[in-house]
């Protein structure tokens, strides 16, 4: 009970010191003697056993305040959010090339930054806690570093060289954390190897480890979205996601497919990559359109002036008088009424995954990204999406998904890559329509062997068709010439592949939002 | 105009400083000067961003590098950090391989430490001309693969490459020792006048014009002038 | 005022708050300030009433938007409910100036004299407009201009309200009704939602009903009606109204044990409130907020017709997500309301927590977000309508930035202060827009780093 009392007394002080962070009230919990802190979805919990152990050397209030200072500094300085955490991890992994070592190095780096930020800005008992903490080899090296950069005595001996190297890093310069992380990881590599040999890599440090579960679900979603944007290639993203797969599954994230997860299934990092990337291109939900009523009605009064017509004078508000300053007349305006709420048509996406297109699992495929953006836009507005992924359809190189609202399934079909020849079967596309008149999106490089069949098919379609093709070749000219007179068909040439999402979304906006613009 | 900041008049300006601030500031100042030196060297020696290898060019560039770094106080960590800056090209807009390596060598040769370790294994670029004119009494350990002209004109120092070296390794060395745990490229030991080169991996080619010194391959001396040890390892890759 | 009087006045306001919360406006607490939990709609209404502010209450029909305002006005200003009902303006398109502000005395008009019969809405200090968004823009403008200055003019006559507050209710701002246009909505100090109280409280409301009967008094209401209808000078009428208010206050205290505020007490509150100082964190954080909501690196300041550049350096800040520039009414609103909140909590200074609690409500109706930002947020789970939710998220973001660099910002402001006084110092430069704003104020505009 005494610890609860102490916490009640210390927490408001810590909150004020750190300018009122948005963190819930911390808890005291049964925990390990060796590990002082645990953070789950921003909720800090302090280990009673740890505090009891430390109380042999320090006052209870000091221990609690130090632990809280450490936890709050993580929240408000480093890593701040999951994106930063993952970015630092990515840098560490480039140097260390080992998942567990990279995680450990990242944890220690974040601890150093957070603690140094706290010590440099506030009065904190953290140094006194570190002085009396039980240390492993890595902890000793880090405490030797603290002695150097904080100017305090923590009772550490040795580790001159490594602390000298580590003391050069600008820990408090956020813009250089990436480089600093690499150099930090490089410097402590030998110690990490030693730790690995002793089997201590997975053990959390005395101030607790950094797991996915310390972030809220929304932060995790946003973190992966940022990671997808920042990753140069899908493989870079996938590597990090796979390294954290256990953590993500443990954090029990949403089962609606937004994390590329389904119940009982493991993470598909490829799908997750495109899902998160597509979220950066979002169209708002369509609003009910309005239009003018076409007839005038009395809207408001305005003062009558000499010379203005008489017929709109309101005798009631004018009190029966016709004189300037008293008489009021009606001003008539057209009203706004709700327009026709056109049903959102469904969408069929035809995506080319032949050998001439980029393999979306190896490199960023703007074709898949553009298709994904279109699918998301239709799904958000309540429509359904069907997918026709084709390579050499005549030889079975095609994958079809009938109308669906399952985002994960749609992405799975979009990301599939055949890498063969290029032909499609219009009969199969017809079956996907299921009697409706959906919007059609075709993303291809137009090197389709049976292009004439496709042209004939488009010529008889009433659907709105958007064809986005990459590059220019004689097939393109044929296609454009044939479609020139069709008002429902628009073709866009793309020189830079990264224009595809913009073009696709532009058309979607045109189709879905025209009346509301 | 009214002073909109008057409310903050009483806020103390000197904030709590920890040794880290001082250390980082001092190191930053040193690095800025070192990088300035490199850029000045490039401007002086490199015309149109092209620098051709030739002995007079190297000598001139080396002397210019020495002038650039005169009076600088630095340590081996600064040298390693310069390698990182040259690799990342964030602060250094361009890396001209020859002058960069010679500049690094000048820094190494003039450093206080007698033993210098550079960890190059994680860098994307390879550095050339490292160990140029390494003097007696100095030991330079390069961890990772390095480029051409490693240990060129070695002047009595000890150079250890824990990786592979490129072409012209030990070219023109007059004394000292080069130890390469990986392979070396073509023209190994070309123009050497003294000293010793020991290569544990494959040697792709030995220089035809040697005037002294010894070359050992896996502990065995290679035949003099013109004869090349043809023994190969399956794992050896060709030089870059 | 002595500390004892401070405490007594505060106690009275707390009693009013508690009485409304327990008996009249049953709803869940949804914000917390310094460990005290409040219902946002009730808190904002009380602060609006005390500060002579303007509040916009939104919500679904039947969730207590108007009634909550009526109760607060009744208890803070000492008017019986019937009198307040009689002064309300209903928002519909046929509202006229004559119904809202005043009309000519018809009898005297026929004799050729212009004498104004002022409406109850113009006369009384409490002004409630129901569904203000259904009024045409000209009428909205007329009401808001009048409440801004306390000045009501008609037919070359004018009255000046000594004290006044405005409560306006509206449906959610969507098409199909008039919208309140930006210059008008900016005049509101706060916007708050009157939420559904939840199934259990709603059941209570349904079974017992909210007991506003205690706030009725037929005799006095008739007396008010008589005084308001008399053709007496405005000041004389207001003195008589104040006497009637005192009678109503006495009746409430005697019959129901409910305390209300007198005019002198409200004036005392304003004096006490104005004496509460702002601490430096409040000051610095508010400047940070203002900088993020007005700064544009490329165009000098935010403007509604200028779109943000893609790839701007400041994409991480709120200026990149907004279309418009924050007005100068905003800092006035937030300062006044923060002081009032600090007074209510008995604090010696106005600090960051007061500011953080109020910012979303003072910003929600003033921020116009980019479409892309709205698209990214609108599907997120939340407890508030989208504008208030996005304002809360924005405030949280800015607060986190302040937590990280608060001391540096204060230092930068301190250095700037000394530079303005002529000391030869270099301004501190950082990434945040506030540092750039400081540079501009010091006349070092256009510095590129």
Confidence of residue B158 (pLDDT cuts 50, 70, 90): very high
Contact C414 B15 (CB under 8 A): no
Phi, psi at A199, each rounded to 5°: 75, 25
pLDDT confidence of residue C264: 93
pLDDT confidence of residue C96: 79
Mean pLDDT of A381-408: 87
Flag whether pLDDT at A424 surpasses 60.
yes
Chains touching B, CB cut-off 8 Å, 3+ pairs: A, C
Q: If you measure CA to CA, which chain B residue comes closest to C278?
A: B7
Q: If you measure CA to CA, which chain B residue comes closest to C412?
A: B13
Contact A167 B23 (CB under 8 A): yes
Contact A120 B28 (CB under 8 A): no
Confidence of residue C3 (pLDDT cuts 50, 70, 90): very low
A297 CB contacts (<8 Å, ≥6 apart)?
A: A332, A333, A334, A335
pLDDT confidence of residue B55: 65
Of A93, A22, A27, A41, nearest in space to A212 by CA: A41
pLDDT confidence of residue A257: 47
Of A380, A391, A354, nearest in space to A505 by CA: A380
Residue A306 exposed, middle or buried by CB count within 10 Å (0-12, 13-18, 19+): exposed
Within-domain flag for B3: no
Tell how strand A439-444 and strand A465-470 pair up.
parallel
Flag whether pLDDT at C211 surpasses 80.
no
Chains touching C, CB cut-off 8 Å, 3+ pairs: A, B
Mean pLDDT of C35-47: 95
**C321 in contact with chain A, both atoms CB, cutoff 8 A:** no
* Chain segment C256-290, per-residue pLDDT in tens: 888 899 999 999 999 999 999 999 999 999 999 99
ipTM: 0.78
Vertex A160: Cα angle to A198 and A69 (nearest 5): 75
Q: Give span(s): CATH 3.40.50.410, chain A.
A: 347-516
Contact A168 B88 (CB under 8 A): no
Phi, psi at C62, each rounded to 5°: 80, 15
Contact C416 B11 (CB under 8 A): no
**B20 in contact with chain C, both atoms CB, cutoff 8 A:** no
**B27 in contact with chain A, both atoms CB, cutoff 8 A:** yes
A45-59, A107-121, A453-467, C298-312, range with the lowest pLDDT: C298-312
A422, A352 in Cβ contact below 8 A? yes
Contact A168 B23 (CB under 8 A): yes
Confidence of residue A290 (pLDDT cuts 50, 70, 90): low
Contact C400 A76 (CB under 8 A): yes
Counting residues of chain A whose pLDDT is more than 70, the rounded percentage is: 92
**C312 in contact with chain B, both atoms CB, cutoff 8 A:** no
pLDDT confidence of residue A517: 42
Highest-confidence segment of A482-491, C310-319, C356-365:
C356-365
Q: What is the largest CA-CA distance in chain A?
A: 101
- Identify the structural domains of chain C with CATH numbers, from first to last: 3-274 (3.40.50.300), 280-441 (no CATH)
Q: Which residues are paired to C103 by β-bridges?
A: C117
**B15 in contact with chain C, both atoms CB, cutoff 8 A:** yes
Contact B16 A121 (CB under 8 A): yes
Distance from CA of C419 to the nearest CA of B (A): 10
Flag whether pLDDT at C390 surpasses 90.
yes
The count of domains in chain B is 1
Contact A179 B23 (CB under 8 A): no
Q: If you measure CA to CA, which chain C residue comes closest to B2?
A: C420
Contact C283 B9 (CB under 8 A): no
Confidence of residue B195 (pLDDT cuts 50, 70, 90): very high
CA gap B30, B47 in Å, rounded: 27
**Pairwise pLDDT comparison (B186 vs B98), residue with the higher score:** B186
A257-261, A311-315, B81-85, C120-124, range with the lowest pLDDT: A257-261
Contact C417 B12 (CB under 8 A): no
Confidence of residue A395 (pLDDT cuts 50, 70, 90): confident
In which domain, by residue range, is B113 found?
19-221
CA gap A173, C80 in Å, rounded: 62
**C162 in contact with chain B, both atoms CB, cutoff 8 A:** no
Query: Distance from CA of residue C83 to its chain's centroid?
Result: 23
pLDDT confidence of residue A288: 58
pTM of the model: 0.78
Q: Three-state secondary structure along A153-165?
A: CCCCCCCHHHHHH
* Chain segment A334-347, per-residue pLDDT in tens: 877 666 656 678 88
pLDDT confidence of residue C280: 94
Contact B20 A182 (CB under 8 A): no
Q: State the distance between the two ends of chain A, measured CA to CA, in whole angstroms.
A: 62
A118, A109 in Cβ contact below 8 A? no
Confidence of residue A311 (pLDDT cuts 50, 70, 90): confident
Distance from CA of B10 to the nearest CA of C (A): 7
Both structure tokens of A379: 């799904």
Mean pLDDT of C375-398: 91
* Chain segment A130-140, per-residue pLDDT in tens: 999 888 889 99
Mean pLDDT of B16-39: 90
Q: If you measure CA to CA, which chain A residue comes closest to C377?
A: A284
Contacts of A328 in chain C (CB under 8 A): 96-98
SS3 content of chain C, % helix, strand, coil (to 5): 55, 10, 35
**Pairwise pLDDT comparison (A283 vs A11), residue with the higher score:** A11
Tell how strand C102-104 and strand C116-118 pair up.
antiparallel
Flag whether pLDDT at A318 surpasses 50.
yes
Give the domain A347-516 fold. Answer: Rossmann fold (3.40.50)
Contact C280 B9 (CB under 8 A): no
How big is chain C, counted in residues?
449
Contact A172 B20 (CB under 8 A): yes
**C350 in contact with chain B, both atoms CB, cutoff 8 A:** no
pLDDT confidence of residue C98: 80
Mutation site for B-interface testing, chosen from A168, A173, A174, A232 by largest number of B Cβ within 10 Å: A168
How confident is the prediction for chain C on average, in pLDDT?
88
Q: If you measure CA to CA, which chain A residue comes closest to B88?
A: A179
- In DSSP notation, A294-362 reads EEEEEEEEEE--TTS-STTB-TTTTTT--STTT-EEEEEEEEEEE---PPPP-EEEEEE-STTS--TTT
* Cβ within 8 Å of A, B 87-116: 88, 90
Instruction: Report which secondary-structure segment, H or E, holds C55.
Output: strand C54-58
Flag whether pLDDT at B239 surpasses 60.
no
C280-294 vs C329-345: helix crossing angle, rounded to 10: 150
* Chain segment A180-190, per-residue pLDDT in tens: 999 999 999 99
Contacts of B2 in chain C (CB under 8 A): none
Distance from CA of A140 to the nearest CA of C (A): 28
Phi, psi at C359, each rounded to 5°: -50, -50
Instruction: Report which secondary-structure segment, H or E, holds A291.
Output: strand A290-303
Contacts of C406 in chain A (CB under 8 A): 19
Instruction: Report which secondary-structure segment, H or E, holds C148.
Output: helix C137-149
| Nearest beta carbon to residue B9 from set C278, C414, C441 | C414
pLDDT confidence of residue C209: 62
pLDDT confidence of residue C309: 64
How confident is the prediction for chain A on average, in pLDDT?
84
**C413 in contact with chain B, both atoms CB, cutoff 8 A:** yes
CA gap A238, A235 in Å, rounded: 5
Flag whether pLDDT at B238 surpasses 60.
no
* Cβ within 8 Å of B, C 260-279: 278
For chain A, list residues whose CB is within 8 angstroms of any CB belonging to chain B: 94-95, 116, 119-121, 148-151, 164-165, 167-173, 179, 182-183, 186
* Chain segment C401-418, per-residue pLDDT in tens: 898 888 889 999 999 999
C180 CB contacts (<8 Å, ≥6 apart)?
A: C56, C132, C133, C140, C170, C173
pLDDT confidence of residue A489: 84
| Nearest beta carbon to residue A120 from set B16, B81, B88 | B16
* Chain segment A170-180, per-residue pLDDT in tens: 999 888 899 89
- In DSSP notation, C164-224 reads -EEEEEE--S-TTSPPPPHHHHTT-SEEEE-----HHHHHHHHHH---GGGG--HHHHHHH
């Amino acid at each position: 009970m005494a610890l609860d009392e102490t916490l009640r007394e210390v927490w408001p002080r810590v909150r004020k010191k750190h300018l009122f962070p948005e963190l819930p009230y911390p808890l005291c919990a049964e925990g390990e003697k060796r590990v002082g802190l645990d953070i789950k979805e921003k909720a800090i919990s302090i280990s009673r056993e740890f505090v009891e152990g430390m109380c042999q050397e320090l006052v209870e209030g000091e221990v609690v305040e130090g632990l809280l200072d450490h936890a709050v500094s993580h929240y408000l300085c480093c890593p701040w959010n999951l994106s930063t955490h993952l970015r630092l991890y990515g840098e560490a992994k480039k140097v260390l090339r080992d998942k567990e070592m990279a995680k450990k190095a990242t944890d220690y780096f974040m601890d150093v930054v957070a603690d140094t930020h706290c010590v440099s800005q506030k009065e904190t008992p953290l140094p006194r806690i570190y002085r009396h903490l039980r240390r492993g080899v890595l902890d000793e090296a880090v405490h030797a570093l603290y002695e150097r950069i904080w100017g305090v005595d923590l009772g550490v001996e040795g580790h001159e060289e490594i602390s000298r190297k580590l003391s050069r890093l600008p820990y408090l310069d956020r813009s250089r954390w990436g480089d600093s992380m690499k150099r930090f990881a490089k410097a402590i590599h030998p110690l990490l190897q030693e730790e690995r040999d002793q089997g201590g890599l997975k053990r959390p440090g005395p101030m607790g480890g950094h797991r996915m579960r310390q972030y809220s679900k929304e932060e995790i979603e946003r973190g992966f979205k940022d990671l997808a944007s920042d990753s140069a290639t899908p493989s870079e993203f996938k590597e990090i996601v796979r390294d954290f797969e256990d953590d993500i599954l443990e954090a029990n994230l949403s089962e609606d497919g937004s994390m590329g997860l389904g119940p009982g299934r493991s993470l598909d990092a490829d799908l997750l990559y495109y899902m998160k990337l597509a979220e950066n291109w979002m169209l708002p939900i369509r609003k009910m359109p309005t239009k003018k009523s076409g007839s005038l009605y009395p809207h408001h009064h305005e003062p009558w002036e000499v010379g203005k017509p008489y017929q709109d004078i309101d005798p009631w508000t004018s009190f029966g008088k016709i004189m300037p300053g008293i008489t009021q007349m009606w001003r008539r305006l057209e009203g706004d009424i709700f327009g026709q709420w056109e049903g959102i048509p469904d969408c069929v996406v035809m995506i080319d995954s032949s050998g001439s297109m980029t393999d979306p699992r190896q490199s960023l495929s703007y074709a898949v990204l553009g298709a994904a953006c279109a699918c998301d836009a239709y799904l958000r507005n309540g429509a359904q999406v069907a997918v026709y992924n084709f390579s050499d359809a005549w030889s079975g190189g095609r994958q079809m998904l009938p109308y669906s609202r399952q985002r994960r399934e749609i992405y799975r079909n979009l990301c599939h890559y055949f890498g063969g020849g290029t032909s499609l079967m219009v009969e199969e596309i017809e079956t996907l329509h299921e009697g409706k008149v959906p919007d059609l999106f075709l993303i291809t490089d137009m090197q389709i062997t049976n292009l004439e069949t496709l042209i004939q098919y488009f010529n008889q379609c009433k659907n709105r068709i958007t064809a986005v093709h990459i590059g220019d070749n004689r097939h393109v000219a044929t296609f454009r010439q044939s479609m020139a007179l069709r008002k429902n068909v628009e073709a866009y040439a793309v020189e830079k592949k990264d224009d595809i999402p913009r073009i696709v979304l532009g058309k979607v906006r045109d189709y879905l939002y025209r009346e509301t613009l | 105009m009214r002073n909109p900041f008057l409310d903050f008049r009483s806020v103390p300006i000197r904030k709590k400083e920890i040794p880290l601030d001082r250390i980082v500031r001092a190191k930053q100042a040193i690095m800025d000067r070192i990088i300035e030196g490199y850029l000045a060297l490039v401007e002086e020696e490199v015309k149109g961003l092209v620098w051709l290898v030739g002995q007079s060019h190297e000598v001139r560039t080396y002397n210019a590098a020495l002038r650039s770094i005169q009076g600088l106080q630095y340590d081996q960590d600064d040298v390693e950090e310069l390698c990182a800056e040259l690799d990342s090209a964030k602060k250094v807009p361009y890396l001209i391989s020859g002058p960069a390596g010679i500049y690094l060598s000048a820094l190494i040769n003039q450093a206080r430490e007698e033993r210098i370790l550079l960890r190059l294994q994680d860098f994307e670029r390879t550095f050339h001309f490292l160990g140029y004119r390494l003097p007696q009494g100095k030991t330079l350990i390069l961890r990772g693969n390095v480029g051409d002209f490693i240990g060129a004109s070695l002047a009595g120092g000890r150079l250890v490459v824990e990786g592979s070296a490129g072409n012209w390794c030990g070219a023109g060395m007059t004394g000292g020792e080069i130890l390469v745990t990986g392979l070396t490229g073509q023209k190994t030991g070309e123009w050497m006048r003294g000293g010793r080169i020991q290569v544990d991996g494959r040697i792709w080619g030995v220089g035809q014009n040697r005037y002294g010194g010894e070359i050992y391959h896996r502990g065995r001396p290679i035949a003099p002038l013109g004869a090349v040890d043809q023994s190969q390892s399956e794992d050896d890759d060709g030089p870059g | 005022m002595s500390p004892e009087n401070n405490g007594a006045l505060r106690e009275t306001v707390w009693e009013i708050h508690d009485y409304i919360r327990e008996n009249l406006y049953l709803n869940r607490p949804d914000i917390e300030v310094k460990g005290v939990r409040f219902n946002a709609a009730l808190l904002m209404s009380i602060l609006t009433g005390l500060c002579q502010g303007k509040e916009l209450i939104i919500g679904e029909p039947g969730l207590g938007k108007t009634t909550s305002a009526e109760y607060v006005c009744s208890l803070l200003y000492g008017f019986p409910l019937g009198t307040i009902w009689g002064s309300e303006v209903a928002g519909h398109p046929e509202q006229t100036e004559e119904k809202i502000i005043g009309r000519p005395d018809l009898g005297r008009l026929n004799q050729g004299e212009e004498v104004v019969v002022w409406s109850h809405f113009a006369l009384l200090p409490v002004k409630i407009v129901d569904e203000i968004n259904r009024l045409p823009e000209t009428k909205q403008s007329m009401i808001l201009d009048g409440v801004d200055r306390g000045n009501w003019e008609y037919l070359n006559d004018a009255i000046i309200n000594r004290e006044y507050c405005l409560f306006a209710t509206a449906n959610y701002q969507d098409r199909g009704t008039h919208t309140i246009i930006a210059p008008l909505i900016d005049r509101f100090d706060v916007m708050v939602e009157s939420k559904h109280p939840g199934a259990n409280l709603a059941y209570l409301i349904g079974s017992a009903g909210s007991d506003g009967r205690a706030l009725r008094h037929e005799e006095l209401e008739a007396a008010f009606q008589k005084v308001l209808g008399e053709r007496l000078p405005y000041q004389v009428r207001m003195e008589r109204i104040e006497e009637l208010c005192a009678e109503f206050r006495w009746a409430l205290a005697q019959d129901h044990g409910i305390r209300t505020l007198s005019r002198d007490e409200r004036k005392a509150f304003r004096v006490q409130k104005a004496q509460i100082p702002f601490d430096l964190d409040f000051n610095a954080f508010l400047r940070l907020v203002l900088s993020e909501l007005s700064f544009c690196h490329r165009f000098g300041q935010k403007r509604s017709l200028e779109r943000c550049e893609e790839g701007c350096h400041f994409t991480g800040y709120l200026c990149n997500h907004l279309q418009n520039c924050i007005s100068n009414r905003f800092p006035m609103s937030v300062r006044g309301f923060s002081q009032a909140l600090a007074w209510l909590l008995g604090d010696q200074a106005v600090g960051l927590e007061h500011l953080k609690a109020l910012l979303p409500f003072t910003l929600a109706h003033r921020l116009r977000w980019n479409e892309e930002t709205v698209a990214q947020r609108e599907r997120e789970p939340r407890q508030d309508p989208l504008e208030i939710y996005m304002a809360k998220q924005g405030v949280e973001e800015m607060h986190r930035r302040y937590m990280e660099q608060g001391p540096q910002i204060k230092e930068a402001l301190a250095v700037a202060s000394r530079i303005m006084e002529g000391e030869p110092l270099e301004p501190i430069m950082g990434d945040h827009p506030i540092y750039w704003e400081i540079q501009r104020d010091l006349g070092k505009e256009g510095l590129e780093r």
